[in-house]
Amino acid sequence: MNSQSTAMRESSSDWQVNESRGIASAVPIRRFYWSVRRELWENHSIYITPLAVAALAVLGYLILTLGVPVPMPDPRLLDEPYSMAAAFVVGIFYSLDTLHDERRDRSILFWKSLPVSDLTTVLSKASIPLLVLPLFSFAIAAATEVIEMGLTSVVRPAGDLSVATPSTSVFRISLGLLLYHTVTVNVLWHAPIYSWLLLVSGWARRATFLWAALPWIAICAVEKIAFNTSYCAAMLRDRFVGGPEAVQGTGRFVDALSRFTPGRFLSSPSLWIGLVVAAVFLTASVRLRRYQGAI
């Protein structure tokens, strides 16, 4: 009996040692992975909306190609990443709701009953607009492009030279620009927007949208009245529609090529200030979640 219980104790302590080693290495990534999956389960709009928008764009393109006779601009150059605009909108609403919803439906008490830290939770939520949505919408935009190229070659009679035939090399440049656009604008440039929304989402008890927007409107109004300047408004506009150094989201890619200036983008102070601000907002969100319970 005695030796048996000693053996049991030993084996259980072995198990604990093994387990704590396991926890130290693999488990943080595992927890992060499952936390992100959880977000995707909850928010179908993350993948449905960009897909739906891209499908509509392809459909619209098809109708355009079939119905309108020549001349027509090179369809590949017309390619605005609609799916990316959709992802931006989805990301905004997601960030504004996610930390608020878990408190409102009290599920935060369930999430907090599991060994997942506030840091992991907030980072997994931030990764939706900053990682998952950009990557996903990039993939969709690339796929859309391929489909549209395929459609062009089927619908257009061979030898119709009024349309530039899309070639593989052009396609590659276009994909590269798209990826550049995704990383610079959708991830780095927009990071402070999403982080601010996450912070408000974790803080406000209700009306998250108002709390997110009102302070900025107030600052802009006060600035306008007091100094008759509009630096704040200009800053916000830059942040939303792509900064001076960032590739314009709505431009044609042939124009965009001239804006492919990673050196200028990376050396711009507003990029780095924005990233620091985003880090501050995210840190605050992590700290805040510790104190938050159900509302």
**Contacts to another protein by CB under 8 A:** 19, 22-23, 27, 30-31, 33-35, 37-38, 41-42, 102, 105-110, 112-118, 120, 290-291, 293-294
| Residue 120: CB minimum distance to another protein, A | 8
Of 234 and 294, nearer to another protein (C-beta) is 294
CB 196 within 8 A of CB 219: no
| Residue 106: CB minimum distance to another protein, A | 5
Of 120 and 184, nearer to another protein (C-beta) is 120
Per the document, the length of the chain is 295
Of 165 and 283, nearer to another protein (C-beta) is 283
For the record, the structure tokens of 186 come out as 């959708």
| Residue 34: CB minimum distance to another protein, A | 3
Within 13 A of 218's CA, how many CA atoms are on the CB side?
Answer: 6
Of 64, 82, 74, 98, the closest CA to residue 200 belongs to: 98
- Residues 125, 119: Cα–Cα separation, whole Å: 10
For the record, the structure tokens of 187 come out as 């991830």
Of 105 and 160, nearer to another protein (C-beta) is 105
Angle 160-143-71 (CA atoms, 0-180°, nearest 5)?
Answer: 25
CB 199 within 8 A of CB 285: yes
Of 93, 92, 90, 95, the closest CA to residue 201 belongs to: 95
| Residue 221: CB minimum distance to another protein, A | 34
| Residue 25: CB minimum distance to another protein, A | 12
Of 93 and 171, nearer to another protein (C-beta) is 93
Within 13 A of 55's CA, how many CA atoms are on the CB side?
Answer: 6
| Residue 109: CB minimum distance to another protein, A | 4
Which residue bears the tokens 């656009």?
181
CB 187 within 8 A of CB 131: yes
Which one-letter amino acid corresponds to residue 57? A
Phi first, then psi: what are they for 226, rounded to 5°? -75, -45
Of 116 and 170, nearer to another protein (C-beta) is 116
Of 33 and 272, nearer to another protein (C-beta) is 33
| Residue 117: CB minimum distance to another protein, A | 4
